[in-house]
Structure 1
Amino acid sequence: MNQPILEINNITKTFQKTEVVSPFSLQLDEGQIGVLVGGNGAGKSTIIKMIGGIFQPSSGEITVCGLNYRDRKNYPNKISYMPDDFHFPSGLTVKEWLNFYAKLSKVSEGQTDKALKLVGLHTKQGEMLSHLSKGMRQRLLFAQAYIRDNDLILLDEPTNGLDPYWVSSFADILLQLRSAKKTILLSTHQLDVAATIADVVIFLHQGKIYHEIEVNDVDRDHLHSRLYQINKEIYGFK
């Protein structure tokens, strides 16, 4: 029986007296992929940031591998996090930056070579960070999360800016990580990605859970059309 890695119990988030995330609960076990979908302002990134420790919940509880989010010493060491955007420092190459990040994360530099190959940036390791395209920056951000090799991987809009080839490749990489018993929670606008990789899909709308689907091998073939149907219910279009 798989162990629960992520347990969320009725978390909320309020900014300036406005509740942007209504009570939200979720459990992901070892080797599961959860996907948060919904439009801009649905609450996806806020939930990811609360789990990652960037925002503190206004109420509710979060545990990762049994550690409460208030345990600021040990809790972060269980999480690998990819933000939705990041301003890389100028004056460094791809390899120099990733090696620097590896040292901060107490990871061997050998792991950076593996990560760069995984995301197709090994031929760009001498490229200046300021010269990278949006898609390359996204792949480098994923490489950062990958090298930490933690129990829970949080990915905030990881496919933004990726071309179709890398969207497909990224989905394959996540499925490989799931096979290696990694637990993953990501947010995305791309319903095709959710249909391909998810064990649990949660549709968010205006900070609330609109619909939750637990996926199994029997109904995965129908998941794609179901997600588009729900999307149309919310927004009135595909």
Structure 2
Amino acid sequence: MKLIKLDAIDSTNDFLKGLAQNQHIENYTVVTAKTQTKGKGQHGTQWHDEYNKNLITSILIKETLTTIEGIFVLNIAVTLGILAALQKNKIPSLSVKWPNDIMSDNKKIAGILIENLIQENGKIQSIIGIGLNVNQTEFNNLPKASSLKGITRMEYDIQDIVIQIVEEIKKKVALISDNKSEILWEEYQQNLFKKGIPVVLENQKGLKFMGIIQGVNRNGKLQVLLEDDSIQEYGIKEVSLIF
């Protein structure tokens, strides 16, 4: 893989996106930064980091998706790749909070933002932005956040973690190319955070309600069993999990 190391940048996703749009770069080109000033997550949320304490990276993945229908499968492959790398580092109680936050027990340790570029020839390039809390241990006003060090009390080599994550993502993405996406779906469902137990959810209007997460459908919508025994499906921007 080609690794581009930066000191400080506004956004590794924007940097890599600019490269991909203006020149030919190889598949799995990786950009890392010691800090970024405009990192963002799902719904435009900010990702705050201490200098050189966390994994801040963006990865180009191309030559995999042929239709926009496969975008959520790529999300699954990336998420499971990160999960596999963390499992090898013996991070305990890992799960995936829909759609792609990485949890250790009840603490969020990583967020993912995927941006897809549809080219004139119809091919799709994906920029995978990953923010993983590694050696940072203070999270002011973020009681639900933690890090690898915060959980295990061990210091980690960030570059080693980057390499492990990219290698595991490659393995998972290869299953898409080999028409074995069903394996990814099964593993994703098995690792869903709070699956099968009562949880509190909140809709766009701020209304909170109880439900039991059943799984995720093939369009990436969360399936929830409600108190009236009906199963409703919610898109990414329609509901959030309160935990």
Report TM bin, short chain: under 0.3
Relative contact order higher in (CA < 8 Å, ≥ 6 apart): 1
Name the one with the larger strand percent.
2
What is the TM-score with the length of structure 2 in the denominator?
0.24
Name the one with the larger helix percent.
1
What is the TM-score with the length of structure 1 in the denominator?
0.24
